[in-house]
Amino acid sequence: MFGSFSQRRRQIQVNCPACGHEQTEPGLAVSSFCRSCGQHFRIEKGVAILPPGIRPSGIVPVSEPEETRSLGLAETIRARTGGSVPTSSADGEASGQTWLKGARDRRQETKREQSTATAGKKNRSKKGGKRDSQPAEPVAAAPSTAPAEDLAGPDADPLANLGKDAQPAEALKHGSMSAMLGGVIERLASGAGPETEESQTFRPKLPPGFQPVEPRRRGAAQTRPVRCFECNHLQLVPLVATSTQCARCSIYISLVDHVITGPWSQNIRTRGNVTVKRRGNVSGCDIACHNLEVEGKINASVDCSGDAVFRNSGRVMGSMHCRHLEVAKKCDVIFPQGVMTESADIEGTVLGNITCSGTIRIHKTGRVEGNATARSVDLKDGGVLSGRMSIQPNIDVTLPEKKGYLRDDD
């Protein structure tokens, strides 16, 4: 304890790495600033070092040479460029070309000197360092590799080949983001309304195997029919809606789905889907729904405006109306007051009368114990129909709208 306290109060002497100033710092210090020049430095093992990184150098004022201070503007330009300076603004263009020629002449002379030095080095390397009594032949200057416009005479126009390597806009935008989007950026930037013939013929390059997303067709059916609880009015509602209101009687209609996984004895009043799982047991209540799927037990009154699928035995109190009735194998469903549907597929046993505006299909494992009234009956081999069969081509099972309510179009 006392040792650490004494070390904490220990002082060390460090020298600034920038100016050499000596100053006192605490023994536990890791960095500090020079009290003479203000330079920041780190302290490692009692030695001051500069931190890593780029350090700015000193600023040195730059002034013009004394021989050019007394000269005028024209003499200064002539002394620096070695060219002629125009005396008036009328020949400014000729003066710009003269300065450009002087710069190109100096660059051309530098390239010739470099090529001559390179050729001399190659010649000395071939001789292998051997001295010859005969004087060496003068080395010819190697041909210059400068462009043709640099080797042109002084009278050539230096701006004649300006922009010869420029590429058209179509080549530059090939493969760009605008090309991927089919020229949308150009049309938005120009403010053009309808597409032109060029934009219609232009097709962007896409990666191999690219499958475009099919656009949603306008006018596609994104709604579903919903039947009112009170007046049986049928109206179209969006699929994403969770509730609605009857357009005829103004009653509130819920569109929430229900899943029953245990005992249930409360009334359900919705036009959403109701699913009874295997451990579900519905008894002594009224259920109004759109689609009904029964995998457990049911003994209730059902008002179904969609499909009714029974995968387990059950009993439906009252008269049931649905769009499609399906009874799975080894299932016994009892309808004491009958069932009205638009189509039916019977693979199990149905106890009750069936009224259908479409076709009743009784499969080989199906059995109907009651009267069957339909537009057509499809009885498979092995199927049983125990009751009276009546074929009526003009039968209608649509629920009529109740009187006492006014519609919007009345």
332-391, pLDDT tens digit by residue?
999 999 999 999 999 999 999 999 999 999 999 999 999 999 999 999 999 999 999 999
Q: How far apart are CA 353 and CA 373, in angstroms?
A: 8
Q: What is the mean pLDDT of each run of 10 residues along the chain (410 residues)?
A: 55 88 88 87 88 55 49 55 49 50 70 76 59 48 48 53 62 56 54 52 62 60 85 89 89 93 93 94 92 93 92 90 92 92 94 93 93 92 91 88 61
Residues 313/295, Cβ–Cβ less than 8 Å? no
Tokens of 209: 């195997």
d(CA 315, CA 300): 7
SS3 25: strand
Which two tokens mark 63? 């002034």
pLDDT score at 78: 58
**Of all residues in the chain, what percent are helix, strand and coil, respectively (each to 5)?**
20, 30, 55
- Contact criterion met (CB below 8 Å) for 404 and 232: no
Residue written as tokens 């080894």?
330
Q: Are 235 and 247 in contact (CB under 8 A)?
A: yes
What is the model's pLDDT at position 115?
Answer: 79
The separation between CA 83 and the C-alpha centre of its own chain, rounded to angstroms, equals 60
**Predicted pLDDT at 311:** 94
What pLDDT, on the 0 to 100 scale, is given for residue 51?
A: 81
What's the pLDDT score for residue 361?
A: 94
Q: What is the pLDDT of residue 385?
A: 92
What is the C-alpha separation between 160 and 100, in angstroms, rounded? Answer: 13
* 185 closest CA partner among 310, 74, 395, 172: 172
> What is the model's pLDDT at position 77?
55
Q: Please spell the DSSP secondary structure of 207-246, one letter per residue.
A: -TT--PPPPPPTT---EEEEE-SSS--EEEEETT-SEEE-
Beta-bridged to residue 308, according to DSSP, are: 292, 325
Side chain identity at residue 175, one-letter code = G
Look at residue 35 and give its three-state secondary structure: coil
Q: Is the dihedral of CA 340, 344, 350, 353 positive or negative?
A: positive
In our burial notation (b when 16+ CB lie closer than 10 A, e otherwise), range 299-326 reads ebbbbbbbbbbbbbbbbbbebbbbbbbb
Cα 83 from Cα 23, distance rounded (Å): 59
Q: Extract the tokens encoding 296.
A: 């457990």
CA 260 to centroid of chain Cα atoms: 39
